């Protein structure tokens, strides 16, 4: 029996550490399999915690404060409600699974994490082992990242935050955010190591952060370092030990800082020198002065995202548009070509727009409930014992700075969709959360309700996971050109509640086969879950034009332009095709300014290769759109031909330049 108890006690922790390694080293945990594995492990640890709870006989038990537990449950409930009535219901389930799984991990870890404050500095506690695991994983990820940075075309360091299947799926900002979370932990982990080795490891991590060329992350890193020095000086000042500490440790601290900085700079320049043998190296000065390829768009677009998300959040302030809806509803307010994103680059605005302001404020309340007491304890005059002060410096302050770093970065660039960031973030929050002694009945009731949430999570994840696997087989068959098999698998996955793009894929296959009735049915299925997607109306326009219903086709294309005119040139091209076929002079005359503006903006974007548009098939569509505009507006023919020729020539040069770049040497 004791063997089973020990296994139950150690199994969740071992599974968590193994999963942390997988989620961080495999695409940063951005893949769907990471989300589903997170869900399964969250259910496991919750079941183990519930089983342990009902076996206890003590009159009292220790756990998370009831107020915090209630806030967490309300946050989950608000998120689920938003998903249930979402305007874009085919997406968003994975976000709810990930957030709920992280909350369950948090509740399990609160009691386990509080064992960390060991006066002896023992490394046998949960959080000590967590620090060790994350530090080792970070070192491995940095080593992998060096090979990827030197040998692959991507011009920014991404660690293990990439998907080798796609040439554009590199996430340097997410990698930088992960390092903001883990570098304070590495400082703690290396506290007993000799100074040269500490300088080498910390310098490597900082060099990996600098090589990401993330300006926002660098500013947050400076903020973290300044806060760390400030808190330590404040504690020494209140214990009148500044002078004594400087006499005893000043030289060692100075050597550590100087050595770490030297290692970081040497590695930064050395790794860039290695990369220069194979690929172009990003200019630090151009990046700092916003004259790099993206210019100042990273700032202007973020500013637009924040303004647009705030405006949209006020239209549906209580439940939002639904999880993962920003990418579908924001383009209606978009003002520049491809100036869109999956999120508004701000965690609170994302929650407000997608799940409603009550849910966003609940999230903020959870963070304040945990972090404000920690901050006050760091700021108030020290009344701790020497032993507690050791644990304070060893764990509380680095954890606080790690969490603050992630939150600060998520105010300008949302990256909590990566399980490799979100799970460690919630586990460190657990390490900062005080536990309360609760009556047995209350403790049991809390565990029972949490167990019920886990059971619901398990049921929905098993069902949707099974359906997702069927639709995955359909996508695989479609990519292989076996369209009949793809349709069979898609039909078997028809019970999928959160279907993503499955019905769009079905419609595309039917349209390619000129099976308009089945294509219409598939598009109706998609429209029932998401009418905000401009691609739906472009495809409807194509279908109706093919069937001869040009009036409806024009309405479809016009709606597509309303929902995403700066992302889908096909919408304009389709509308112009209808007008050219119908000779509808009123619409031609009335909408001239709109059509010409969209045309010119796409042309300017191709000339500047904005978001790599010159490498996309928009160039071919642009040529056809120009031809249609010449037919509709003969007076603009000279301008259209000259401008189009310039655009196409520049696109050809960009494609030649891209094709001539050295290929990746790893894949």
What DSSP state is assigned to residue 40? H
For residue 79, the model assigns a pLDDT of: 98
For residue 37, the model assigns a pLDDT of: 96
For residue 609, the model assigns a pLDDT of: 93
SS3 content of the chain, % helix, strand, coil (to 5): 75, 0, 25
> What's the rounded Cα separation, in Å, for the pair 639 and 635?
9
Find the farthest-apart pair of alpha carbons in the chain and give their distance in angstroms, rounded. 89
Select from 617, 646, 647, 643 the least CA-distant residue to 630: 643
Alpha helices in 277-325 (DSSP H): 284-288, 297-313
DSSP H or E stretch at residue 378 = helix 357-379
Cβ proximity of 111 and 435 under 8 Å: yes
Domain boundaries, the chain: 2-289+297-456
CB under 8 A, 24+ apart: contacts of 513-516: 513/483, 514/546, 516/543, 516/546, 516/547
pTM, two decimals, is 0.94
Backbone angles phi, psi at 60, to 5 degrees: -130, 160
DSSP H or E stretch at residue 109 = helix 93-113
Q: Give pLDDT < 70 ranges for the chain.
A: 1-10, 57-59, 113-124, 240-250, 290-297, 381-394
Angle of helix 534-546 relative to helix 550-564, nearest 10 degrees, comes to: 160
Backbone angles phi, psi at 88, to 5 degrees: -130, 60
Structure tokens at 397: 């302050």
Number of alpha carbons in the 13 Å side-chain half-sphere of residue 427: 24
For residue 4, the model assigns a pLDDT of: 46
For residue 11, the model assigns a pLDDT of: 74
């Amino acid at each position: 029996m004791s063997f089973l108890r020990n296994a139950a006690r150690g199994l969740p922790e071992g599974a968590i550490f193994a999963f942390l390694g997988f989620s961080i080293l495999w695409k940063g945990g951005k893949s769907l399999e990471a989300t589903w594995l997170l869900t399964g492990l969250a259910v496991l640890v919750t079941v183990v915690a519930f089983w342990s709870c009902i076996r206890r006989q003590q009159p009292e038990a220790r756990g998370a404060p009831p107020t915090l537990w209630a806030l967490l449950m309300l946050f989950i409930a608000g998120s689920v409600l938003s998903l249930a009535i979402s305007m874009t219901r085919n997406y968003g389930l994975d976000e709810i699974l990930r957030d709920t799984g992280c909350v369950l991990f948090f509740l399990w870890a609160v009691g386990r994490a509080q064992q960390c404050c060991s006066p002896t500095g023992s490394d046998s506690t949960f959080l000590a082992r967590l620090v060790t695991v994350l530090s080792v994983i970070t070192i491995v990820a940095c080593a992998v990242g060096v090979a990827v940075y030197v040998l692959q075309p991507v011009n920014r360091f991404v660690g293990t935050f990439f998907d080798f299947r796609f040439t554009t799926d590199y996430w340097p900002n997410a990698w930088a955010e992960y390092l903001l979370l883990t570098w304070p932990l590495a400082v703690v982990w290396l506290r007993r190591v000799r100074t040269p080795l500490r300088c080498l490891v910390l310098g490597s991590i900082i060099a990996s952060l600098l090589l990401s060329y993330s300006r926002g992350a660098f500013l947050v890193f400076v903020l973290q370092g300044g806060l760390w020095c400030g808190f330590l000086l404040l504690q020494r000042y209140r214990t009148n030990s500044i002078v004594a500490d400087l006499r005893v440790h000043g030289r060692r601290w100075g050597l550590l800082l100087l050595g770490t900085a030297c290692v970081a700079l040497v590695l930064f320049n050395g790794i860039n020198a290695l990369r220069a043998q194979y690929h172009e190296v990003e200019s630090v000065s151009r990046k700092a002065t916003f004259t790099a390829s993206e210019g100042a768009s990273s700032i202007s677009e973020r500013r637009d995202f924040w303004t647009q998300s705030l405006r949209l959040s006020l239209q549906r302030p209580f439940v939002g548009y639904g999880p993962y809806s920003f990418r579908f509803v924001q383009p209606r307010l978009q003002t520049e070509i491809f100036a869109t994103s999956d999120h508004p680059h701000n965690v609170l605005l994302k929650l407000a727009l997608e799940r409603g302001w009550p849910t966003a404020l609940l999230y903020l309340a959870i963070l304040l409930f945990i972090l404000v007491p920690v901050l006050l304890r760091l700021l108030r005059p020290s009344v701790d014992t020497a032993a507690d002060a050791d644990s304070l410096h060893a764990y509380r302050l680095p954890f606080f700075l790690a969490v603050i770093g992630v939150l600060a970065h998520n105010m300008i660039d949302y990256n909590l969709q990566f399980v490799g960031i979100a799970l460690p973030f919630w586990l460190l929050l657990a390490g900062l959360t005080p536990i309360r002694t609760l009556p047995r009945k209350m403790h049991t009731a809390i565990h029972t309700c949490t167990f019920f949430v886990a059971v619901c999570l398990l049921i929905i994840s098993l069902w949707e996971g099974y359906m997702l696997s069927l639709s995955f087989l359909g996508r695989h068959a479609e990519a292989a050109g076996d369209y009949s098999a793809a349709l069979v698998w898609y039909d078997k996955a028809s019970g999928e509640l959160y279907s993503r793009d499955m019905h769009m894929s079905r419609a595309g296959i039917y349209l390619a086969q000129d099976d308009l009735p089945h294509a219409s049915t598939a598009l109706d299925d998609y429209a029932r879950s998401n009418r905000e997607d401009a691609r739906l109306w472009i495809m409807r326009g194509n279908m109706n034009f093919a069937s001869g219903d040009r009036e409806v086709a024009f309405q479809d294309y016009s709606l597509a332009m309303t929902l995403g005119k700066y992302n889908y040139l096909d919408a304009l091209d389709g509308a112009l095709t209808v007008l050219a076929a119908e000779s509808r002079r009123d619409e031609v005359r009335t909408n001239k300014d709109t059509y010409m503006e969209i045309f010119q903006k796409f042309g300017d974007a191709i000339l500047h290769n904005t978001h790599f548009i010159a490498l996309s098939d928009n160039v071919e569509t642009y040529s056809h759109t120009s031809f249609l505009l010449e037919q509709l507006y003969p007076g603009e023919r000279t301008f259209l031909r000259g401008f189009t020729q310039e655009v196409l020539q520049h696109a050809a040069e960009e494609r030649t330049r891209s094709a001539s770049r050295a290929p990746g040497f790893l894949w």
